[in-house]
Chains A and B, each alone.
Chain A
Amino acid sequence: MLSIAFQTHVLANGLTVVLAPDRSVPVVAVNLWYAVGSRNEPPGRTGFAHLFEHMMFQGSANVEKGGHFELVERAGGSLNATTWFDRTNYFETVPSHQLDLALWLESDRMGWLLPAMTQEKLDNQIDVVRNERRQRYDNQPYGDWDERIQAMVYPPDHPYHHTVIGSMEDIGSATLEAVEEFFLTYYRPNNAVLTLAGDFEPEAALARVEHYFGGIDPGPDLPPLPGRADLPERIGEPVRERVEAEVPLPRTYLAVRIPSLTDPDFPVADVASSVLAEGRGSRLYRRLVRGERLANDVLAFAFPLTTGRSLMVGWVTGFPESDPDELEHAFERELEALSDVRDEEVERALALAETGLLRQVEQLSSRADLLSMYQTHFGDAGRLNGELDRLRGVTSGRIRAFAENLLAPDNRALLTYIPSEAS
């Protein structure tokens, strides 16, 4: 049903370019994925990939500190970047007559970031990132849930054992030498995918991409990931943790190991999450929020991760007077019960997925991001067009098998926050 037209090219230096023209509005989304994220960080350098992303906005050979934001905002564009486990993405959406500006900015920092790096800028961004960590993790109820969950699901030598934000100590110890090394290793054209979606003529756009990016030197082969990526399919035993903390309401997080994004069974976990907790018609909402009124809110989603095993996470939030045992039991009971999933529930989830995907590709920036994602992780941007068919291939039988195998007690990590006396 999806038929997004696109073409793929590879420049001589290894940069993969995905072009998805759509002339309906005079806007173009420029989206650049580097296949590097927190999984590439060795011990002692947690949080570095994300700190490095901040440094990418501190100017490059021909761009002043802050110039990237200033030039794009002035051009009437929006921009940002995010760092995650497997990748870091940079993106601008600009009026189409400003396409060259976006390409010039992205290529300047891909090719010539280092001449602009200074200790002063690094010190400033270390402060900014430490404040980001305080704001999002340390000063936030449940703020450390992912730190705890990742450590429960992945062993210490797995690249997903630590969080993207990293530890305060590691963030503070970053050096300019590490910036240089990281840049020359990972921020190379042969480790990147550049996607344009929107208002451009493909042949002319490809010539502009070649003009700006063609002269950038490729990098060496990538070093192996630190630690060990391969994992048993299940955690192997039930893992439990309870934390007394300054939280307003008790909440139980559940995490399980699921197949990697690149595994044919990943969509099963995706649809199962939706059956469990997407919308008011989902099981957890119907039964725990509405029926038994044990829960204030519920959530479940499958992370699209590629290194070894991916992660499904859910939560059930209770009320001030809730009994944590009862929350945990109810959650686990619903996991067991998923083996009686009915076809109508799967159809409901697929109908939501269909509208959801159409809404995502409706927006040029997320269309470009999805194309970059499929190109980076599968070597095939066109997988986007087959996504609905893969989801439709998920049957109640496959969900049943998934529930029996991967939602079993020996693959469950349960983390429960209990409000401390003070709160």
Chain B
Amino acid sequence: MSTGQPIPSGRGSPPSPSAIRPFHLPPVRSDRLGNGLAVRSMARTEVPLVSIALVLDVGEAPVPAGREGIAVFAGDGLQGGTARRSGVELAEGLERLGSDLRVATGWDATTVAFTCLAERLDEMLALLSEVVREPAFPQDEVERIRRQRLADLHRRRMEPARLADDELLREMVPDGQPYGRPLLGTPASVESLDAEGVRAFVEERYGPVRGGLVAVGDLSEERVADLAARHFGEWGKQANDRADLSRHRESGGRKLVLVNRPGAVQSELRVGHLGPPRGTSQEDALRVANSILGGAFTSRLNLRLREERGFTYGVRSRLSLRRDGGTFTIGTSVDTGVTAEALAETMEVFDRFVQSGPSEEEVTQARDYLAGVFPLRMETTAQLAARLAELLVFDLPDDHHHTYRDRIRGVDAEAAGEAAAAHLRPDRAVMLVVGDAERVAGELEQAGLGELKVRDP
């Protein structure tokens, strides 16, 4: 094989960076309406767009047994129309303004967001206010949504990656604790939801207290405060309690589970355990540690499993830190024939990382990466609005994002190693495989990873 044209001299090493130009995140302006609704705004005038996020203190985590999925259901149902217009009329009204509403319900909050041309903001806010304050939940829409959610739950069981995510939660979270089931609910709970129940839930839970309106884009901050007061100032307060879920943070012991999926050509691997909540004191150091172990492309796990061994298209680890506790998970999918070997290597990399910690070199690299990509993730008005919404969901200080890069740059190898040792727990990890038991059970039993439990999905 030829090697192409001759290699010129002088190209041998990477060029040095030029002088750095500072990145300034515009300041956050903070207001509060008389009814308690927080307002956060940031001016970004480069593009004639505005992104809005309305945060409601309505999550799935505190939903009691038997009604799982009702917060998600209510969020979806907002699109079903209001006291003044049908769902079809609502959709047409929004889309003729070139926008739509994205309702996202998570464990901790419901966020209703949109992006529109700045000149259409007033009209869009009027629609948003109508949608969250006067939702109708007509019977036929409730039935439609219920049927679609049931179909979605059925679909999750047949997509290997979703199935593995759900099965991991089930194994990882002790019964009765939050976060242990699909966010959407269970087939039985979704089946039991009706229009009356959803209306009552919204009546009791939706409101301005502990919620907020976020606005980012081509706007003046004074105008945001005025618009917020005009469209949400009269919103009456809702029930003012928040469930305390903080006692639910215990992981079970280490275990190995195989969920049988006959005929699968790949095995989905998951390793995970419960972790600390958002806002924990070692959070930044833990994020650096996670980046080194499995968060970045050049992480230890990806380099070993993908670039050295060719076992997988990719492997990632992820921290999901929530209000009342979080999870740490490693996820990948591998060729069926290497299932046990890939899981054993994953655990070996995980164990060793936690035992001996990261090197100074790795920490420098991860720090530079995390601090460097920060401006790239704060580029659009929608990204920024999502970040400001986090401030409200997790009660973070207004300058949380402004100080992020300095905090990350302050993490050294010792701090990252300590955070890993404190919060990453291979000794308590659930190791879960979704794959063809006939082909992989034998090897998994022999892999020295512990006693294997095999079951159906």
Contacts and interface: CB of A to CB of B under 8 A. Distances in A.
Contact of B1 (A70, A112, A114, A358): A114
Contacts of A139: 160, 264-266, 333
A248 B155 contact: yes
Given A73-B365, A177-B1, 14 more contacts: A73-B298, A77-B376, A114-B4, A128-B306, A132-B313, A135-B266, A248-B154, A248-B155, A280-B88, A281-B92, A281-B95, A290-B88, A348-B96, A355-B117
A27 B376 contact: yes
A67 to B, nearest CB: 9
Given A25-B379, A358-B117, A279 B91 contact: yes
Interface stretch (B41-49, B53-61, B205-213, B242-250): B41-49
Interface in A275-292: 279-281, 285-286, 289-290
Main secondary structure of the interface of A (DSSP, over half): helix
Contacts of B5: 111-112, 216-217
A124 interface: yes
Nearest to B15: A100
Given A199-B21, A362-B49, A176 B15 contact: no
Nearest to B381: A362
A75 B364 CA distance: 11
17 contacts: A65-B307, A75-B372, A105-B14, A112-B3, A112-B7, A128-B313, A139-B333, A176-B1, A199-B21, A248-B154, A248-B155, A248-B158, A279-B91, A296-B148, A352-B99, A362-B381, A363-B380
A62 B98 contact: no
Given A101-B14, A101-B17, A359 B49 contact: yes
Interface of A: 22, 24-27, 61-62, 65-66, 69-71, 73-78, 93-101, 104-105, 108, 111-115, 117, 123-132, 134-136, 138-141, 176-177, 180, 183-184, 199, 215-217, 246-249, 279-281, 285-286, 289-290, 293, 296, 319-320, 344, 347-348, 351-352, 354-355, 358-359, 361-364, 423
A97 B20 contact: yes
Contacts of B335: 127, 130-131, 134
Given A76-B368, A180-B1, A199-B21, A66 B88 contact: no
Interface residues of B, number: 84
Nearest to B92: A281
Contacts of A22: 46
Interface in B422-441: none
A347 B96 contact: yes
Nearest to B267: A139
Nearest to A1: B48
Given A131-B266, A358-B47, A76 B310 contact: no
Given A319-B147, A362-B380, A73 B333 contact: no
A66 B49 contact: no
- Among all A-B residue pairs, the 8 with the closest Cβ atoms: A76-B372, A127-B310, A280-B91, A351-B98, A26-B21, A355-B98, A132-B313, A100-B15
Contacts of B297: 69, 73
A289 B369 CA distance: 44
Given A25-B23, A73-B369, A99-B18, A320 B151 contact: yes
B73 interface: no
A329 B117 CA distance: 38
B437 to A, nearest CB: 15
Contacts of A246: 158, 263
Contact of A77 (B22, B97, B373): B373
